[in-house]
Amino acid sequence: MDLLHGKLYWPATLPAPPSYPVLEEDISCDVLIIGGGSSGAQCAFELAQTGLDIVVLEKDLIGSGSTSANTALLQYLGDKMLFELVNSFGEEKAILHTKLCEKAIDKIEEVSKILPIDPDFKRRDSLYFASGGFGSNKLLHENFYLKKHGFKSELWSEENIIQHYPFRKQSALYLYDDGEINPFKYTHGLLQYAKKYGVRIYENTPVNGRKRDTDEITFFTENHHSIRAKYTIFAAGYEGLEWKKEKNSVLSSTYAVVTTPVEDLSDWYKRTLIWETARPYIYMRTTPDNRIIIGGLDEKTNNAEKRDAKLIHKKEKLITEFNLLFPITQVKPDYYLSAFYGGTHDGFPVIGQYPEFPNCYFLFAYGDNGLVYSGIMAEILRDVITSGSSTMLSLYQQRK
């Protein structure tokens, strides 16, 4: 799958990342993780200290998939608004999921402190503004559930907004304690940590075949080596769909720009993460070296050529949209990309288990909070593999 195209910012922040060998022998292990992006790395981290024998196989270089495109806003609210999740799943499940997202951000913060590569985690509040009158209504609904369940949020009026930002919007939710991170450094940091505990990691090692015996699958690499594993986690990102089409998933295209460093960010209140109620939305954040990341303008296409043909236009449009909010901040694009982006129809990520893949778990951490979702799911899979169950598994198991 042609996951992305453009000039990437995150790999440039870690110019000499750790490297790993190609798998050159037949092996067996307790858990095989297919995919060395942030999801695979989170699974490796969670499993590293269980005493199990863990292997990670990455077909290209570690972190070179969607992880390199990820704009890495860490938020507890997602693509589908909380009140929409309540409509689809009921209040109990929707709230449980949102609380798990909150906890997952706490965990990412804790883990970031102990990694051998600092992933630049920072707590950030979010401003979620109403894109129009209809958006204001949605935020009212959203705030009802947030308040009822004790999430740290405030509904801001137009007055509040113009006191803090150089733009005017009818209303906004101000959400406390979200976060931001460097996903490329995070992935490398997690894997370096896991390696210390004996996790075996291989790059440039595509898995391209499988053979099923009754309740066991042997996987094969492109260079004809076999891997026998008791359990397999497919953490192959959007390319997991090439192994198993999950009906709940939906693939679209998205765009992002990273500007050159900006001298003065003083009119950006607390460097909040900013996004909006419109779908598709525009969102933005800052970086530790004072750049601005602007993303969004999603398109429904899952055709890479059509996606990439729009990149130059989208790059300019993202800058224009930014300047509608911050008119006096002069920005120049430095890095920019087009990429596939996966979500689910119902707004919950999916852990897939399918009869034709015995003892395999598909981690479809799809959605705008992919990094947060895969944090939750890595813990669930650790528990399922080590103790046979997790009370949270049923929340994310594939829906009919």
Per CB under 6 A, the list member of 23, 31, 72, 351 interacting with ligand FAD is: 72
According to the binding rule CB under 6 A, does residue 171 interact with ligand FAD? no
- Contact mark string toward ligand FAD, 31..60, x via CB under 6 A: ---xxxxxxx----------------xxxx
368 belongs to the binding site for ligand FAD (CB under 6 A): yes
What's the min distance (Å) between Cβ of 160 and ligand FAD?
A: 25
Asked if residue 286 binds ligand FAD (CB under 6 A), the reply is no
List alpha helices for the chain, DSSP H: 38-48, 82-89, 91-114, 133-148, 158-164, 183-196, 304-309, 311-325, 370-387, 393-396
The b/e string for 259-277 (b: 16+ C-beta within 10 A; e otherwise) is: beebeeeeebbebbbbbbb
Report the nearest approach of ligand FAD to the CB of residue 45 (Å).
12
Identify residues 309-338 at the interface with ligand FAD (CB under 6 A): none
Looking at the Cβ atoms of 25 and 159, the one nearer to ligand FAD is 25
122 near ligand FAD, rule: CB under 6 A: no
Please state, in angstroms and rounded to a whole number, the distance separating the CA atoms of residues 6 and 158.
37
Size of the residue set binding ligand FAD (CB under 6 A): 38
| Smallest distance, ligand FAD to C-beta of residue 342, A | 8
Among 119, 135, 189, 237, binds ligand FAD (CB under 6 A): 237
371 binds ligand FAD (CB under 6 A): yes
Q: Between residues 33 and 94, which has the closer beta carbon with respect to ligand FAD?
A: 33
**126, 136, 249, 254: which one contacts ligand FAD (CB under 6 A)?**
254
349 is a site residue for ligand FAD (CB under 6 A): no
Identify the residue among 369, 376, 379, 385 touching ligand FAD (CB under 6 A): 369
Smallest CA-to-CA distance from 277 within 126, 162, 163, 105 is with: 126
Nearer to ligand FAD, 284 or 395 (CB): 284
CB 130 within 8 A of CB 172: yes
Cα gap 27→190, rounded to integer Å? 23
Q: Which of 6, 347, 352, 370: binder of ligand FAD (CB under 6 A)?
A: 370
Interacting positions 128-147 with ligand FAD (CB under 6 A): none
Site membership for ligand FAD, residue 239 (CB under 6 A): yes
Distance CA 92, CA 86 (A): 8
**174/366 with CB nearer ligand FAD:** 366
Instruction: Tell me: does residue 17 bind ligand FAD (CB under 6 A).
Output: no
Q: Quick one: tokens of 41? A: 């790395």
- Read off the tokens for 201: 């990691």
- Smaller CB distance to ligand FAD: residue 65 or 352? 65
Q: Which residue, 17 or 36, has its beta carbon nearer to ligand FAD? A: 36
65 contacts ligand FAD (rule: CB under 6 A)? yes
| Buried b / exposed e along 102-113 (16+ C-beta atoms within 10 A) | bebbebbbebbe
Q: Which amino acid is at 212?
A: R
Task: Compute the distance between CA of residue 185 and CA of residue 336 in angstroms, rounded to an integer.
Answer: 19
Distance CA 202, CA 19 (A): 9
Number of residues that make up the chain: 400
Nearer to ligand FAD, 136 or 378 (CB): 378
How far is residue 114's CA from residue 103's CA, in Å, rounded to a whole number?
Answer: 17
Among 67, 192, 204, 248, binds ligand FAD (CB under 6 A): 67
Minimum CB distance to ligand FAD, residue 44 (Å): 11
Q: Contact, 354 vs 375, CB < 8 A?
A: no
Residues 261, 331 contacting (CB under 8 angstroms)? no
- Contacts of residue 204, Cβ cutoff 8 Å, sequence gap at least 6: 22, 58, 59, 60, 61
By CB under 6 A, is residue 201 in contact with ligand FAD? no
Residues near ligand FAD (CB under 6 A) are 34-40, 57-60, 64-67, 69-73, 206-207, 235-237, 239, 254, 256, 295, 339, 341, 365, 368-372, 374
